[in-house]
Amino acid sequence: MSLGLDSQSKGAADPDSASRALARGDFAAAARAFDAVPQGLTPAQRLEHAKALAMTGRLQEAEQMAMAHLREHGPNATAFTVAAICALITRRYSLALSHAAAAEQLDDSVQVTVYTYTALSRLGAIHEAKSALQRMYERERGTNFTTINDLSSLSMLLGQAETVERLLALSPPLNAQTGRPRYFIALPKSGGATVCSSIARILGLPFAGAGVDLERWAGFPAPWLHPGLLRLLEGRQVMFLTHAAPLPDNVDYLRAQGVPLNVHVRDPRDALVSLFEMGETYGALQLLRFERCRPGYALMDRAERLAALRRTVYPLYLAWIDGWLKLSDSQPGLVRFTTYESFCQAPEDMVARLATGYGAPDGSAATLNTMHFRKGVVGAHRDSFSEVESRAMYDAIPAAARDRFGWRP
């Protein structure tokens, strides 16, 4: 998959332009520019170089540079943060927590606390993770949807549903420009976050999603749009990803925000495997979410866990897809489908085309946000299920979906 680069990011070849690229979030351009001038960088610029390397997957180089800075210059929040990022990505969560906690002692910014929270959640320290999220919520004054979403999810995991209602009641509307929200509807693990957040980049809007985990656990299609969430989004220009099912109240609300409704789907066998791998990768926090669906999930071996998700989640995915198809057939012109498979063939083209439908000028260039992109191989379910299992799962897909979206055995 190729990544588009805006015209400003091309040709950067000095430390100042590299720093500007880093500030824009164009990590690839920043890394290239810093690589071109390896000599004569200041300590601060070397740390910026390390951050750019970390965010583009050159983890060993980035970590070496961060640790060298700590040895030569002493404690530094940015150096600890870079080291924490590298440790998180390579799943050394205890080390990541050590680095992130050290960074937070020196810098109480929200972004640093994100890494503390992430390490704690991966280690299964749910109460401590919730405390970190609470610090983020207070520093942001309740204006960041992602923090509200995660804090609500942890509250649900801890059996504190009343906390969710209180959060939604007390949180001010999202910190975004006045206007109307835009919605992108996607099957869980269909690449919806990558598509939706990339559209948000083109539109210059904040990205939020996918909805407070008031239902059983992340990974289920959220049956309904919670009134508290709608209050947070009301009158705000934000690009919002939702997994909402095609229930009458949801459809009425979404229709009022603009039609057609963009619904993004994926071969549900691949989506299920992606969901499963997310649980295996993210560790204790995600396993606890799955535990709420299938008691004993965390104690099963890998094969048993995948089989459990096939029994419990796969039918929900099929029902979600079938529901949106039936709505589309009953109300022509209301729903416009896109597929993950088509996205993989021409990602920038699909994102640019969708963005135009949301109001972007014709010809807008797309720069993909791949932060949410795990592996994304079409047909990956064949590596996880036997031929007999895969065929049985295929036969269970509604015939209308198989025909319309081109999914094959």
Cα–Cα distance list, 49 to 15, 62, 153, 156, 347 (Å): 9, 8, 35, 39, 28
Pick the closest to residue 174 from 224, 239, 109, 123 (CA basis). 239
Place domain 1-123 in its CATH homologous superfamily: Tetratricopeptide repeat domain (1.25.40.10)
Q: What is the pLDDT of residues 203-252, one digit of tens each?
A: 988 887 754 443 433 344 556 676 777 777 788 888 988 888 888 888 99
Place domain 179-409 in its CATH homologous superfamily: P-loop containing nucleotide triphosphate hydrolases (3.40.50.300)
pLDDT at 216: 39
For 265, the enclosing helix (H) or strand (E) is: strand 261-265
Residue 1: is its pLDDT beyond 50? no
**Dist CA 82 CA 86 (whole Å):** 6
Instruction: State the span(s) of the chain assigned CATH 3.40.50.300.
Output: 179-409
pLDDT at 210: 55
pLDDT at 370: 62
Strand order in the sheet with 207-210: 207-210, 239-242, 182-186, 261-265, 335-339
Residue found under tokens 């540079």: 65
Q: What is the pLDDT of residues 334-367, one digit of tens each?
A: 999 999 999 999 999 999 999 999 999 888 877 7
Kindly state the tokens that stand for 237.
Answer: 């220009």
Residue 31: is its pLDDT beyond 60? yes
| Residue 382 exposure: Cα atoms within 13 Å on the Cβ side | 6
14-23, 123-132, 273-282, 389-398 — which one is most confidently predicted on average? 389-398
Cα–Cα distance list, 31 to 48, 88, 390 (Å): 9, 20, 42
With pLDDT > 90 as the criterion, what percentage of the chain qualifies? 37
pLDDT at 250: 86
| 374 CB-near residues (< 8 Å, 6+ apart) | 274, 277, 278, 281
Kindly state the tokens that stand for 65.
Answer: 């540079």
Q: What is the pLDDT of residues 287-311, one digit of tens each?
A: 656 665 666 776 788 899 899 889 9
Region 276-291: what's the mean pLDDT?
66
pLDDT at 310: 92
pLDDT averaged over every residue in the chain = 82
pLDDT at 388: 96
Q: What is the pLDDT of residues 52-103, one digit of tens each?
A: 898 888 899 999 999 999 999 999 999 999 999 899 878 788 999 999 999 9
Instruction: State the span(s) of the chain assigned CATH 1.25.40.10.
Output: 1-123
